[in-house]
Amino acid sequence: MKQQPTLIRGLGLVGSASVVAGTIIGTGIFLVPSSIARQVDSVGLVFAVWVVGGLLSLAGALSYAELGAALPEAGGEYVFLRRAYSPLWGFFYGWEQFVIGKTGSIATIATAFAVFLGYFFATLNDELFRLPLGFATWSLTGAQAISLIAIVGLTLINYLGIILGGAVQTIFTLLKVAIILVLVALGFALGQGSWSNFTPFFTSLGGAADTLSAFGVALVAALWAYDGWNNLTMVGGEVRDPERNIPRALIFGVLGVGIVYMLANAVFFYILPLEAVKASSRVAQDTARAFLGEWGGWFITVGALISTFATLNGAILSGARVPYAMARDGLFFRHMADVHPGHRTPAKALLLQAVISCGLILIFGQRPDAFDRLFTFTIFGLWLFYGMTTAAVFVLRRKEPHLPRPYRTLGYPWVPAVFVVVAAVFSLNTLIRQPAEAGLGLLFLLAGLPFYWFWRHRSA
What's the pLDDT tens digit per position in 100-140?
Answer: 788 888 988 898 888 888 888 878 878 887 777 766 677 78
Rounded Cα gap, residues 281 and 292, in angstroms: 18
Q: Average of pLDDT values for 153-172?
A: 94
Residue 374 lies in a domain: yes
* Distance separating alpha carbons of residues 387 and 394, to the nearest angstrom: 12
Q: What's the pLDDT at 215? A: 87
Q: Is the pTM of this model over 0.85?
A: yes
Instruction: Flag whether pLDDT at 332 surpasses 70.
Output: yes
Q: Please check the confidence at residue 339 and state whether its pLDDT lies above 50.
A: yes
Asked whether the beta carbons of 120 and 285 are under 8 A apart, the reply is: no
What is the extent of the structural domain holding 442?
A: 13-459
Q: Is residue 7 part of a domain?
A: no
pLDDT at 441 (0 to 100)? 77
4 assigned to some structural domain: no
* Higher pLDDT pick, 31 / 198: 198
5-43: pLDDT as tens digits:
888 988 999 999 999 999 999 878 887 899 899 988 899
**Residue 134: its pLDDT value, please?**
65
Cβ neighbors of 164 (< 8 A, separation 6 or more) are 157, 158
Q: Is residue 236 included in any domain, yes or no?
A: yes
What CATH number does residue 50 fall under? 1.20.1740.10
Alpha helices in 191-293 (DSSP H): 208-226, 242-271, 274-279, 283-292
Residue 6 lies in a domain: no
The number of folded domains in the chain is 1
For the chain, what percent of residues have pLDDT higher than 90? 58
Compare 207 and 77 and report the one with higher pLDDT.
77
Of 248 and 206, which is predicted with more confidence? 248
393-434: per-residue pLDDT in tens?
A: 999 999 999 999 999 999 999 999 999 999 998 888 778 877
Average pLDDT, the chain: 88
Domain assignment present for 433: yes
- Asked if 346 and 160 count as a contact pair (C-beta separation under 8 A), the reply is no
291 located within any domain: yes
Q: Domain for residue 407, yes or no?
A: yes
The model's pLDDT over 217-275, given as tens digits with 9 standing for 90+, comes to 888 888 888 988 999 999 999 999 999 999 999 999 999 999 999 999 999 999 999 99
> How much is the pLDDT for 433?
76
Nearest to 237 by CA among 246, 226, 228: 246
Strand partners, 58: none
